[in-house]
Amino acid sequence: MSSTTATQTWVLDPVHSSIGFEVAYNGGTFRGSFREAEARFDGESLAGSAKVASVDVKDENLNAHLQTPDFFDAERYPELTFESSEIERSGDAVTVRGGITIRGVERPVELTGTIGEPITDAYGRERFGLTLVTAVDRTDFGVNWNAPLPSGGNALADEVKLTSELYFVPAEA
C-alpha cells in the first residue's frame, strides 16, 4: 500500500473506538458492544481481539447470560479474535479478508469499509480512522441459542452484523 499508514505500526485507541454487533431480535434490532479490545495495524496486516467478559448490553442479566455456554462461553473462550490475510485499498475504500474466531471456531470473513489518512490531533499525536463491517452466521460458531415464538419462528436471527469503528495511534516505540 502506498499510504502513509503503511510506514509504521499502529495500535488501537480503545477509548475512541467501538466494536459492536447488531442482530434482528423480536421484530427489531438488538445492539451490543465490547468495551475492551486491542488491535494492531501495519498497512500489510490487521489483527485484533475483544474480551468476551467486556460485552456490554443494557441489561445486567443479559450481560451475564451472554458469558455462559449458551452464548459466548467466556470461561473457555475468553476472547474473540480477528487476523487478516489480505488487505485491499482503493482510495478510502478498504476490503480486509481474514479469519474471525468466536467460541474457538475460526471462519473466513471479508470486512469492508473506509480508511482515513492520518491526521495530527489536538494533542499533536497522529491518528487515523478505520471503519469495517461484516456479517456472520452465529450458528457457524456454535452460538446457537434461540427461543421459539408462540406465533412461529424464532426470537433471534442467525445473521449477526459486526461493526467496528476503530481509531489507531502510533505504537509506542
Q: Cell 474466531 sits at which residue?
A: 101
Distance CA 159, CA 139 (A): 8
> Least Å distance between CB 70 and another protein?
5
Question: For another protein, which stretch binds (CB under 8 A), given 11-19, 61-69, 108-116, 150-158?
Answer: 61-69
DSSP 148: B
> Least Å distance between CB 166 and another protein?
24
**Sequence-separated (6 or more) residues with CB below 8 Å from residue 95:** 87, 88, 89, 110, 111, 112
Classify the C-alpha dihedral 60-50-97-169 as positive or negative: positive
User: Coil, helix or strand for 91?
Assistant: coil
Of residues 103 and 130, the one with the C-beta less far from another protein? 103
> Least Å distance between CB 98 and another protein?
21
> Least Å distance between CB 113 and another protein?
30
Choose, by CB under 8 A, the member of 70, 86, 88, 121 that binds another protein.
Answer: 70
Of residues 64 and 105, the one with the C-beta less far from another protein? 64
> Least Å distance between CB 145 and another protein?
8
Distance CA 66, CA 80 (A): 13
Residue 5: name the closest of 49, 48, 41 by CA. 41
* β partners of residue 115: 130
- x/- mask, another protein, residues 76-115, rule CB under 8 A, reads x-x-------------------------------------
Question: For another protein, which stretch binds (CB under 8 A), given 68-76, 81-89, 127-135, 150-158?
Answer: 68-76
Residue 145: name the closest of 136, 156, 134 by CA. 156
User: Coil, helix or strand for 142?
Assistant: coil
Of residues 7 and 68, the one with the C-beta less far from another protein? 68
Of residues 59 and 86, the one with the C-beta less far from another protein? 59
Residue 142 lies near another protein (rule: CB under 8 A): no
